[in-house]
Structure 1
């Protein structure tokens, strides 16, 4: 793995190159607006730079797209009154002392019932994972795979995806309308055929919010 950059007009595009046993060169813009070049082994730096320059307008467009989703807030403290996104809407956190450890959302509040304030972050993140699981179903995968003309063999849903495990990742605080884009990108990132395809992904880990990039 190595890093490089190009200048495109007044913009500088930094990127990371990952070499692997693949036949084509692909470009990914991840949710942190980082550019990743997935390249066949022994590809020259000149060829890679040429490809990046050719796709520079697309790269900048993707970075601008993901920038619009980045929170304008400081690091989360998980205290009462703090705002959090859920399905594209803002909710206020409300901590209530309780012997139970659970999270519910009611009206414009995400209510956290806990015996210890220190547990609030863990409880909220776990709640996001469970809600994501209920929103992302195999029915959704079927619809998107049909639209893309691929067959998914033995798909699975996992919270921490890797290419080796052939899984599609759930994003913890994903805006619902972006889920289809996430899965389409995951499918496009895999080496798939219309007759026999496995699901793969290269989504990068993020703090508590993620959106995945398109791939070319």
Structure 2
């Protein structure tokens, strides 16, 4: 693959370009906002860039969508009237004094009851992390089970706060997920799980990796063709 870019107004679109025997130009936007372009062998770079510019509005829209769920952008402050995302939905926060520390949610509200309001942030951080481990594991189980019918899968998964990544697969095939995933839609979590599972088989984002990802999760991609 080679790196190229086009200028669309004040916006620079960088993309990875690869030629193949396909008949049309394909553009894929990954959840990490990277852009992959696959072009017919006979198509010139000039024509490729012309096509990218025609799709520029769509590309920017898709990148913006995924940026809304960027690990580096997930932050919140626990105060009444503020909001926090949980599984992609936005919840309003209500913090109140109580004789015991407790967190409950119903409808579109998170009710945070605390003895000391200054500890509301700490209480919620601990609660959301525990909830993330439980819920992400629950979502991951059927995906791992599906993958295990074809390939080896680990007996357990691990969690870690990561400043820039949703998940990782180590050289020793240890799967690690960012607890901040709990703020994103379920579909995003499913994608990250399958993405890291595929890295157990193919460590790099090459053709074989994307073929496996498509085989295991056919509707994973946001792709636009001619």
TM-score, length-scaled by structure 1: 0.55
- Stretches of structure 2 that go unaligned for 5 or more consecutive residues are 16-27, 36-44, 162-166, 204-219, 222-226
Mapped contact 1:150–1:192 kept (Cα < 8 A): no
Equivalent residue, structure 2, for 1:199: none
Equivalent residue, structure 1, for 2:39: none
What is the CA–CA distance in structure 2 between the aligned matches of 1:162 and 1:111, rounded to whole Å? 33
Equivalent residue, structure 2, for 1:80: 80
Matches within 5 A, 1:97-176: 97-135=97-135, 136-137=137-138, 139-146=141-148, 149-160=150-161, 162-164=168-170, 166-169=174-177, 170=179, 171-176=181-186
Mapped contact 1:144–1:183 kept (Cα < 8 A): no
What is the CA–CA distance in structure 2 between the aligned matches of 1:122 and 1:14, rounded to whole Å? 40
Equivalent residue, structure 1, for 2:6: 8
- How far residue 99 of structure 1 moved from its aligned partner, in angstroms, is 4.1
Equivalent residue, structure 2, for 1:180: 190
Q: Return the structure number with greater helix share.
A: 2
What is the CA–CA distance in structure 1 between the aligned matches of 2:190 and 2:75, rounded to whole Å? 28
- Stretches of structure 1 that go unaligned for 5 or more consecutive residues are 16-26, 37-49, 194-212
- How far residue 159 of structure 1 moved from its aligned partner, in angstroms, is 3.2
Q: 1:75 to 1:130 in 2, by over 3 A?
A: closer
What is the CA–CA distance in structure 2 between the aligned matches of 1:130 and 1:74, rounded to whole Å? 17
Equivalent residue, structure 1, for 2:21: none
What is the CA–CA distance in structure 2 between the aligned matches of 1:107 and 1:96, rounded to whole Å? 18
Q: 1:146 to 1:176 in 2, by over 3 A?
A: same
Match of 2:200 among 190, 196, 200: 190
Mapped contact 2:29–2:62 kept (Cα < 8 A): no
SS of corresponding position for 2:78: coil
Mapped contact 1:29–1:59 kept (Cα < 8 A): no
Mapped contact 1:144–1:180 kept (Cα < 8 A): no
Q: Deviations over 1:161-198 (max 9, x none)?
A: 554471231423132232211111112233459xxxxx
Tell me which structure has the larger Cα radius of gyration.
2
Q: CA RMSD in A?
A: 4.3
TM-score, length-scaled by structure 2: 0.53
Q: Deviations over 1:90-117 (max 9, x none)?
A: 2211111124333211332101122333
Number of equivalences: 162
- How far residue 152 of structure 1 moved from its aligned partner, in angstroms, is 0.4
